[in-house]
Amino acid sequence: MPSAMTAEIAAAAARLVVEEGMEYGPAKRRAARGLGRHSMRPVDLPGNDEVEDEVRSYLALFCADTQPAELAALRDVARQWMSRLAEFRPHLTGAVWRGTATRLSSVHLQLYCDDSKQAELALIDLRIPYEVGSLPGPRGEPVDVLSVATPSPALGETVTVHLSVLDHDDLRGALKPDARGRSQRGDLAALQALLDG
């Protein structure tokens, strides 16, 4: 059971996630600092599940009239990119998949490639400008993240799509449910089912 302090940090982090579009890790650290906890170890911060529960509560309380349409618009952006990059077995993950995204959220797609350079070459062929970054991958090693900006007519603004380039073999363990039995990601058919639902 979370302590009163971790619950307070989770609630403060959830506000940052929703109001500023922050990712969970930085939001938890900033929330802890904002509550005067400058030297908390990562293990003492609330878990992502706790923050996500608080995000859902915050959305239901303060964003119920706007968030569903914003989420639908972001899922449509994801669908377009997943269709465009279908050869790389794209899977949607993050807030857009989990249903907690707002217009400030980015779209996170994971591409499972036979060759890590294939996705980059595809963007070059399509003449799509992108930036290259990296994140820790499923095996702890850094993986390339290709970030593109794409318009969302429904939102009337540009959305950032992050494409994490993973090894095809990583797909095997990717579809295991989390501790609560929920999927962490879904393919185009799974996303289409959410859009149709």
Where in the sequence is the domain holding 179, given as residue range(s)?
67-196
CA distances from 13 to 28, 42, 47, 75, 154 (A): 5, 14, 11, 24, 28
Worst-scoring range by mean pLDDT, 22-31, 33-42, 126-135, 156-165?
Answer: 33-42
Which pTM value belongs to this model?
A: 0.91
Q: Are residues 141 and 176 in the same domain?
A: yes
Query: How is residue 142 written in tokens?
Result: 């850094």
Q: Are residues 112 and 169 in the same domain?
A: yes
Q: Is residue 1 predicted with pLDDT exceeding 60?
A: no
Q: What is d(CA 147, CA 150) in angstroms, rounded to the nearest whole number?
A: 10
Q: Is residue 14 predicted with pLDDT exceeding 50?
A: yes
- What pLDDT is recorded for position 36? 87
Question: Average pLDDT in the 111-128 region?
Answer: 94
> pLDDT tens-digit profile of 120-131?
999 999 999 999
Domain boundary among 15, 37, 62: 62
Q: Are residues 76 and 125 in the same domain?
A: yes
Residue type for position 168: H
Q: Are residues 16 and 88 in the same domain?
A: no
pLDDT over 90 for what percent of the chain? 78
Write the CB contacts of 35 (distance below 8 Å, at least 6 apart in sequence): 5, 8, 9, 12
pLDDT over 70 for what percent of the chain? 99
Q: Is residue 83 predicted with pLDDT exceeding 80?
A: yes
Tally of domains in the chain: 2
Q: Are residues 112 and 146 in the same domain?
A: yes
Q: Is residue 146 predicted with pLDDT exceeding 70?
A: yes
Under the phi-then-psi rule, with left for phi > 0, alpha for psi from -120 to 50, and beta for the rest, what region is 89?
A: left
> pLDDT tens-digit profile of 52-75?
999 999 999 999 999 999 999 999
Residue type for position 142: P
Q: Are residues 106 and 189 in the same domain?
A: yes
Q: What's the CATH code of the domain at 77?
A: 3.30.460.10
